[in-house]
Amino acid sequence: MASFVDRVVLHAAGGDGGHGVASIRREKFKPLAGPDGGNGGDGGSVVLVVDPQATTLLEYHHSPHRRAPRGGQGMGDERDGAKGGDLVLRVPDGTVVKDRSGEVLADLVGAGTEFVVAQGGRGGLGNKALASPKRKAPGFALLGEPGEERDVVLELKSIADVALVGFPSAGKSSLVATVSAARPKIADYPFTTLVPNLGVVQAGDTRYTIADVPGLIPGASEGRGLGLEFLRHIERTAVLVHVLDCATLEPGRDPLSDLDALEAELAAYSGDLGISGGRVPLTERPRLVVLNKIDVPEARELAEFVRPELEARGLRVFEVSTASHEGLRPLTFALAELVEEARAAAPAPEATRVVLRPRAVDDAGFTVERRTDGSTGGVYFLVQGAKPQRWVRQTDFNNDEAVGFLADRLAKLGVEDRLLKTGAVAGDEVRIGTDADAVVFDWEPTMAAGVELLGARGTDLRLEDASRPTRGQKRKEYTERMDAKTAAREELWTERSAGHWADPSDD
């Protein structure tokens, strides 16, 4: 199994936020001393961080599902839940993050660069934080929000100054092994190199990296052979080197035809123009031609024969031999010169700008749309917005007081007024959220909003009254019932004494 993976699909999920708790402080001589429920902790996030020691995405190929820790639940005595720690995933330098549709989300270049893939959920507030002068002892708490879930594609694009381009067995791996300390696998059969190999070259005062990537064949830009697996790794390079095999024994191949095939594939390949290092087309980057294996007499003769035509095309040509090391020193210094020119021409890195995007004056933070259900033909009103949807996720619908609190918040935000303006009437169906996970309500615009209508803790008089009668209420009802029985008995005796109940046989 190959130990190098440069493309994986990562299923990331942020940690859920912890729930708040509804609790009442109990002290000596103060059985109900006020709310003391703590808040839930925030869930952890899934964060990608560039690590120079990482060289492959193999770890995420074997374990693609990653979830951050969830936040702890709040507790009584004003104790907040623990926050879930972030799940840090180490990725190689040059990793590109895309969504399923192929849109680039982040280009991670440089040690320490971070990107949050999945945000953790917020923790819910406890009843201590929800207390107010009017609602002194809330009988509910807010739920924690679920963490964000996202599927992303990670692609590794090697960071190198020079890329060696050539057919299989052209001698690219041997060239890297000769001019650097890298030791790639070298053999006399095609496609020996299956993964990119990086080497560091020191030429005078200039140090640069050189990449030996899998061999290129006609049709690679369309996915043939290693195809895009090869071309992806040369998008960021500043200099391209065409390594041409002058000692090949394959029929129909020669250095000139090989060069034409390589140039055609580079021209057909279109990289991600929005990624740093991929804006300049591959065909417009500085390039050199290396005529390799001149230690073979026939190869040296062929190199001397094709060199004038290559130079007529405006290309710098170097005749080298990795076996005898002939011509390697001039080649390394020529590459160093081109790399220095590319570095000098590169724009200076700009400081990160802090962009402030204030909310528009007429932006209410939510939208209300009148829609028709395609399956039933019924009309409903869809409410969408960050605040309404977050409030719905945090509401415990098993607690009437929490539902009433949600109604108060929505009314204060202006949702009811917007529904009236949109044409909603009593009894209409209202959905809050997306079509997939919306919460459905039967709207009652006449419902009063106010803390003064709250009943016992955990209840709301605006909703169905399921509260139990108190002892005083039971005593009052019993007294009224007994008084009614006594009055009925007295009325019965009065009628009997007046003779209204005479025996019918006496008539």
Residues in the annotated binding site for GTP: 166-173, 191-195, 212-215, 292-295, 321-323
Check if the beta carbon of residue 255 is closer than 8 Å to that of residue 300. Answer: no
Contacts of 11 (CB under 8 A, 6+ apart): 64, 65, 66, 149, 151
Strands 379-384 and 429-432, bridge-based pairing: parallel
How many C-beta neighbours within 10 Å does residue 80 have? 23
Question: E-assigned strands of 84-236?
Answer: 87-91, 95-98, 104-108, 114-118, 149-156, 162-165, 197-203, 206-212
- Burial of residue 37 (number of CB atoms within 10 Å: 0-12, 13-18, 19+): buried
DSSP label at 217? -
Closest C-alpha to 143, from 70, 73, 67: 73
Give CA–CA dist 157/120, Å, rounded: 28
Closest C-alpha to 191, from 216, 174, 228: 216
Amino acid at 386: A
> What's the per-residue H, E or C state across 167-207?
CCCCCHHHHHHHHCCCCCCCCCCCCCCCCCEEEEEEECCEE
Check if the beta carbon of residue 216 is closer than 8 Å to that of residue 167. Answer: yes
Report in angstroms the alpha-carbon separations of 5 from 8, 103, 195, 211, 398.
7, 21, 8, 16, 48
Binding residues: 166-173, 191-195, 212-215, 292-295, 321-323
Check if the beta carbon of residue 237 is closer than 8 Å to that of residue 217. Answer: no
Return the structure tokens found at 443: 């709207």
Burial 176-210 (b: 16+ CB within 10 A, else e): bbbbbebebeeeeeeebbebbbbbebebeebebbb
Burial 296-332 (b: 16+ CB within 10 A, else e): eeebbebbeebbeebeeeeeebbbbbbeeeebbeebb
Closest C-alpha to 368, from 429, 327, 317, 315: 429
DSSP 323-367: TTTBTHHHHHHHHHHHHHHHHHHSPPPPPPP----PPPTT--S-E
Binding residues for Mg(2+): 173, 193
